[in-house]
Amino acid sequence: MRVFSTLANPWLCRCLPPAFVAMVWSLLSAGVLADQQCTSEDELPSVLQRVSAAVVNLRTSDATIGSGFVLDDGLIVTSAHLTAGRRLLILYQDGRRVPWHTLYVDRELDLAIARVEGTGLPHLTLRADTPSLGETVLALGNPFGLGLTVTRGIVSAQPRAIGQVHRLQTDAAINPGNSGGPLVDRQGRVVGMISARAAIGSGIGFAVPAAAIRKALEEATQVE
């Protein structure tokens, strides 16, 4: 890795105090190892199998328009712009269909929540902390109505102001139909909900951070 070749550079070691070099090395190593220890490449398929079971498609009467995902207590999260003025069906990965009934919506945040009946539904958990810059993330959804699709990228920027709200930025491929789907880390924890992508160019996508989703869930359960 480039980290090793840089820190092994004799010029660098001579010009910088040993204590400083050791500190930088420990910080870089911690970041790299944290990402590696979360889940090995061999374990990713099983993580994705578990995560994908909790991802749903959202349909109108004649077309799939987006994605969503199940959280604990039968709550389903998606993008608010998908629900505006539409009667939607929730399609689970096992083929079941149930109607979408909005429990909570925040148009500014672009987040909507529904509660569904049933127990034992596959569900995801929200990550408690903010992912590191450069950390591997995976986007799941239903781009162009093709069916469940996984793309991979990194955290390109930690939550930054986009208009009146904050968004996590990623370079994972995001296309129409991905909206409302989860952005997860290598352990399958939700770090964000896919919300938008840049209109011009590629490799710039945005997600509602997990912290904002958690706050919305708390508000939603209070109004029930």
- The values of phi and psi at residue 196, to 5°, are -160, 170
Known catalytic residue at 101: no
Known catalytic residue at 94: no
**Identified catalytic residue from 79, 156, 179, 195:** 179
**Identified catalytic residue from 67, 110, 156, 185:** 110
Distance CA 210, CA 184 (A): 10
Residue type, 111: L
Both structure tokens of 104: 């909570």
| CA nearest neighbour of 81 among 115, 105, 116 | 105
Known catalytic residue at 123: no
**Identified catalytic residue from 35, 81, 106, 171:** 81
Distance CA 18, CA 12 (A): 10
Distance CA 108, CA 164 (A): 8
Which residues does the annotation mark as catalytic?
81, 110, 179
